[in-house]
Amino acid sequence: QSVLTQPPSVSGAPGQRVTISCTGSRSSIGAGFDVHWYQQLPGTAPKLLIYGSSNRPSGVPDRFSGSKSGTSASLAITGLQAEDEADYYCQSYDSSLSGWVFGGGTKLTVL
Amino acid sequence: QITLKESGPTLVKPTQTLTLTCTFSGFSLATSGVDVGWIRQPPGKALEWLALISWNDDKRYSSSLRSRLTITKDTSKNQVVLTMTNMDPVDTATYYCAHRRTSGPVVYAFDIWGQGTMVTVSS
């Protein structure tokens, strides 16, 4: 069981908007630690999508955005495209574990 | 351009020790604020952070695997080595190394990942 909780799956039609939640605790997200999001296309290594809860690395489309509030964070994807079909993981730090933690991952299906 | 590549055995037997090497380019682990971490992913499952080593040789380990892990660096060779003792079939996974920094742009996230290496534990 992952320290950060994500929905196992989400889906949306092309052009729609979807959000993926990531729920932590007072010792992780709630303690103020940054949340990062990764996209993992089938058979490939994870790729950084959002860092510092809401920042996009160079090259990541602005269709992807992140936010954080309290003990949770969210990834939003607007204008869904077929190429967005992938697994998405959130990641933070947990002070009670003294280590970095990942969510269980969310599989995005583009209908 | 930063790149990382993992190498090591594809098959290990139960109880054996696994040694993985991460060879990188485009940065130095002697530079202040630079880290390299190891993360694994069992087939069809989630990512799990294992260990991290910093530029100043500070080492951090997953609390659940601490007793089995050792991480070291060879700055002159641009390599980070992870050893995991007493391997078990549940340790079957793809093992990734990743770059991280605590200063400069894109801080604190694992911003560049290697391609990963699949390790199977079986007799």
B chain contacts of residue A99, beta-carbon cutoff 8 Å: 49, 60-63
Q: How far is CA A58 from CA A22, A55, A61, B12, B69, in A?
A: 23, 10, 9, 39, 34
Q: What is the tens place of the pLDDT at every residue in A2-31?
A: 889 999 999 999 999 999 999 999 999 999
Cβ contacts (< 8 Å) between A8 and chain B: which residues?
none
Q: Which of B51, B46, B40 is nearest to A3 (CA)?
A: B46
Q: CA-based diameter of chain B, in Å?
A: 46
What tens digit of pLDDT does each residue of A34-84 get?
999 999 999 999 999 999 999 999 999 999 999 999 999 999 999 999 999
According to DSSP, residue A70 is labeled: T
pLDDT in tens, B64-107: 999 999 999 999 999 999 999 999 999 999 999 999 999 877 78
